[in-house]
Chain A
Amino acid sequence: MPAAAAPCLDDIRSTFGFFDAWQDKYAFLIDIGKSLAPLPEADRTEGNLVRGCQSQVWLVPHFDGDKVHLAIDSDAHIVRGLIAIVLAAYDDRPPRQILDFDIEGLFDELDLIGHLSPTRGNGLRAMVARIRNIAREHAAS
């Protein structure tokens, strides 16, 4: 399947705004999840696993000048959809911007956490915490 362009935050915000039914939200999540570039098998290592996620989530950061580039993948489609949203907020941004971004506000606005089981929500927060740590370390280096 040809990978569609990764959605940007504005697209995600406006698309979510149209949805009432849970099916639409999930269909969209699954859809943007499918558009996510898969992580090479070699990067799907134990060391790259994000702890605290119910499904397996691998995260590999790269640094390009002062920008943090994130490659994240999961074995579950809905989680890949959540990753696509997290990437839209964080990917290819300087650490300062990552640390300043109000991601909880975004989740509230999209009413994401409310639609997730608590364990899923915790997994999402574990992913966010890992990314913020990476940004903090990169900013300090």
Chain B
Amino acid sequence: MTKPSWRSDFPLLANRPDLVYLDNAATTQKPAAVLDALARYYRCTNANVHRGAHRLSDEATAAFEAARETLARRINARSSREVLWTRGTTEAINLVAAAHGPLAVGTGDRILITEMEHHSNIVPWQQLCQRTGAVLMAARVLPSGEIDHDDYAAKLEEEPRIVSISHVSNALGTVNDLASLIPSAKAVGATVVVDGAQAVAHFHVDVQALGCDFYAFSGHKMYGPTGIGVLYGREELLEEMPPWQSGGEMIERVRIEETTYASLPFKFEAGTPDISGAIAFAAAVDYLDRLDGDAIESHEASLLAYASASLNQVEGLRIVGTARAKGPVVSFLLDGSHPHDVGTLLDQQGVAVRTGHHCAMPLMDALGIAGTVRASFSLYNSRQDVDKLCRAVRTAASML
């Protein structure tokens, strides 16, 4: 089932008709609705927000806060006060580590992640450990690319104060079973952080149903612009956290002796925010909401199944990551060939994939490989794209 109408929503794909874009896990292309929202904002509404004084500023503020409402609704947050704008997933996780971390951990306390995390869900915790004397642990990953639930359970017995896990692996596509991982972490009293960067574009996320304390994601991986992302945080936790950056926008009253801070969510949004980015991000969500979410999911699942079956026909090709539940990502290796060589030869044939460690070096170490070639699909990809990928892979294999 292909949906040509979806594809035609994306100007870049029309401008580059020969491109087979399969690097969607890195960033997706943007629909016209998002580009229009960006341009419309600057053409018609641009003013600084929350600074009252004139009508244009009021309009910009209303659009900016409406965007927050849209995002809150999309992830089913209790209120838009729980939705903080960030630059993306990376900044969102850094915010949690910087502002909540020291409240949650001290010397000797445990922080639990998994071996499959993106570096941005590893390094902020390492730095928190350096600052506080806490200890970082990582639950093992099985050869299938799934979290070893036994090892996870064993590590939970050490009662980590923070557990931070990805919803979907960017390198392999594994969809982690949060319905079981989160309750067991909550049962030992941990703060649960979810890196949702690779989930939000592919299925509906309900933060209340998940029961997590924080959920981080990026606009640019779900058809929105770069430079904008969201940190969802439970209001009780956000209330007790100190600001992490300071300046304008985040204050209530400043005296030279002392400052009182603004209420949520502004306490965490120092400085002029990415107003146009937030508004265009909401336009991306509106775009997704207008499409049928089930149809997107089944289209992407069928692409994944078709790509996996087709690639498995290529002699000497091994798919890395064979979890039962996967997002539309196929990571693979060609026998005896370096992923960069394969990627270069695919690029020459107009097929854009990602090669290397995918910012998940510990995962590559755990799997005993240096990297993979990764094809990641999106709603606008088609079976023809998969066919072109497979043809290009065969050509590369014959040359290497």
* Residue numbers in A under 8 Å from B66 (CB-CB): none
* Residue numbers in B under 8 Å from A132 (CB-CB): none
Contact B399–A55 (Cβ < 8 Å): no
Residue of B344, B395, B399 touching A120 (CB-CB under 8 A): B344
Residue of B337, B338, B345, B370 touching A26 (CB-CB under 8 A): B345
Interface-located stretch among A10-18, A61-69, A74-82, A84-92: A74-82
Contact A76 B341, CB 8 Å, known A27-B399, A54-B356: yes
Name the CB-closest residue of B to A33: B341
Q: Mark A15-49, 1 if CB is under 8 A from B, else 0.
A: 00000001100110010000000000000000000
* Residue numbers in B under 8 Å from A115 (CB-CB): 348
* Residue numbers in A under 8 Å from B348 (CB-CB): 22-23, 26, 115
Contact B370–A77 (Cβ < 8 Å): no
* Residue numbers in A under 8 Å from B395 (CB-CB): 23
Contact B399–A79 (Cβ < 8 Å): no
CA distance A79 to B356 in the complex (A): 14
Residue of A22, A30, A54 touching B400 (CB-CB under 8 A): A30
Q: Which of A23, A27, A76, A120 has the most CB of B within 10 A?
A: A76
Name the CB-closest residue of B to A75: B338
CA distance A78 to B344 in the complex (A): 8
* Residue numbers in A under 8 Å from B399 (CB-CB): 23, 26-27, 30
Contact B347–A117 (Cβ < 8 Å): yes
Contact A79–B400 (Cβ < 8 Å): no
> Is residue B40 within 8 Å, beta carbon to beta carbon, of the partner chain?
no
* Residue numbers in B under 8 Å from A26 (CB-CB): 344-345, 348, 399
CA distance A76 to B341 in the complex (A): 6
CA distance A115 to B349 in the complex (A): 12
Residue of B338, B345, B347, B400 touching A55 (CB-CB under 8 A): B338
> Is residue B204 within 8 Å, beta carbon to beta carbon, of the partner chain?
no
* Residue numbers in B under 8 Å from A30 (CB-CB): 341, 399-400
Contact A78–B356 (Cβ < 8 Å): no
Contact A77 B341, CB 8 Å, known A26-B348, A30-B399: yes
CA distance A22 to B338 in the complex (A): 19
Contact A75 B370, CB 8 Å, known A26-B399, A27-B399, A55-B338: yes
The dominant DSSP class at the A interface is helix
CA distance A23 to B337 in the complex (A): 17
Q: Which of B337, B341, B399 has the most CB of A within 10 A?
A: B341
> Is residue B340 within 8 Å, beta carbon to beta carbon, of the partner chain?
yes
Interface residues of B in 347-400 (CB under 8 A from A): 347-348, 356, 370, 395, 399-400
Contact B338–A77 (Cβ < 8 Å): yes
CA distance A22 to B399 in the complex (A): 12
A56 to B: closest C-beta gap in Å:
8
B340 to A: closest C-beta gap in Å:
5
CA distance A23 to B348 in the complex (A): 8
A31 to B: closest C-beta gap in Å:
10
Name the CB-closest residue of B to A54: B340
* Residue numbers in A under 8 Å from B340 (CB-CB): 54-55, 76, 78-79
Contact B347–A78 (Cβ < 8 Å): no
Contact A76 B338, CB 8 Å, known A27-B399, A30-B399: yes
Contact B344–A117 (Cβ < 8 Å): yes
Residue of A77, A79, A116, A120 touching B337 (CB-CB under 8 A): A77
CA distance A68 to B192 in the complex (A): 57
Name the CB-closest residue of B to A56: B370
CA distance A26 to B396 in the complex (A): 10
CA distance A55 to B371 in the complex (A): 10
* Residue numbers in B under 8 Å from A120 (CB-CB): 344
Interface residues of B in 303-356 (CB under 8 A from A): 337-338, 340-341, 344-345, 347-348, 356
Name the CB-closest residue of B to A23: B399
B305 to A: closest C-beta gap in Å:
30
CA distance A115 to B345 in the complex (A): 11
- What are 29 A-B pairs with beta-carbon distances under 8 A? A22-B348, A23-B348, A23-B395, A23-B399, A26-B344, A26-B345, A30-B341, A30-B399, A30-B400, A54-B340, A54-B356, A55-B338, A55-B340, A75-B370, A76-B338, A76-B340, A76-B341, A77-B337, A77-B400, A78-B340, A78-B341, A78-B344, A78-B345, A79-B340, A79-B341, A115-B348, A116-B344, A117-B344, A117-B347
Which 10 A-B residue pairings sit nearest by Cβ, starting from the closest? A76-B338, A76-B340, A22-B348, A55-B340, A78-B341, A76-B341, A77-B341, A78-B344, A75-B338, A27-B399
Q: Which residues of A are at the interface with B, using a C-beta cutoff of 8 A?
A: 22-23, 26-27, 30, 54-55, 75-79, 115-117, 120
Other CB < 8 Å A-B pairs besides A23-B395, A30-B341, A78-B341, 10 of them?
A23-B348, A26-B345, A54-B340, A54-B356, A55-B338, A75-B338, A77-B341, A78-B340, A78-B345, A115-B348
Q: Which residues of B are at the interface with A, using a C-beta cutoff of 8 A?
A: 337-338, 340-341, 344-345, 347-348, 356, 370, 395, 399-400
